[in-house]
Structure 1
Amino acid sequence: MTDEDALEDLLGHARKARPTPSDALLARIEVDAAAEIAKHAAPPAARCSVWKTFSALGGWPAFASLTAAGVAGVWIGATDPAGVVSQSFGTAMITGLDATDPGYGYSEFAWGLE
């Protein structure tokens, strides 16, 4: 019998015999696994979802912009629209154009239709 045959016999016996771990080893593995699971557990949920919503909207800059837009909307909605109309049609009134004419401002698009 050569050295290779002896080695092959030894490895063949090792392949057939499957060692079983001891109960002490399995208990240590279980304790280590429980410690790792506890270490990587999810953090507790936030107490207030308002701050999550606030952060999702973009924080303070976005909140300031939304507030400014809301205040402007309330202001425009609550004030008398006469000031807005006089500001928008003021130049037409000065030049003598009639802003209530349905064709007002579209004469440059009517090429030769007159």
Structure 2
Amino acid sequence: MAVLIALGIAVSLRGIAKDVHFERPLLAQAFTADAGFAASVPLEVVESRALLRAHPSEAPLALGAGLIDDPLLQQRHWEALYPVRLHEAQSGRMLWKAPGPDRTDCTELGRSDRVVLVDCP
């Protein structure tokens, strides 16, 4: 009896898999480390994360104008950039919304379409 039940379940699952166009590679993608990250957060956060990976540092990071002014962007940066330590200073390594800071004493470390990584004294 148990064999018949197991066989019935297997046949049912196979029929469901055909109906929903099940594909093993798509299922495997669901278990990758950053699956869906770029589609689930604002583009500024995706670009910020890429810039920080390209320019790694142990120094704390601050969010500049445009990123800290928007509560959604601020919260998503806090979540997505962990374990990077974020602080509220107006100096040191900072992420700014493009076109970047209007200060002339900052050194640009990296740039993307929406975000600029700078070091300000």
TM tier relative to shorter chain: under 0.3
Q: TM-score if structure 1 supplies the norm length?
A: 0.25
Higher relative contact order (CA 8 A, sep 6+): 2
Structure ranking higher in helix proportion: 1
**Where is the strand percentage greater, Structure 1 or Structure 2?**
2
Calculate the TM-score normalised by the size of structure 2.
0.24
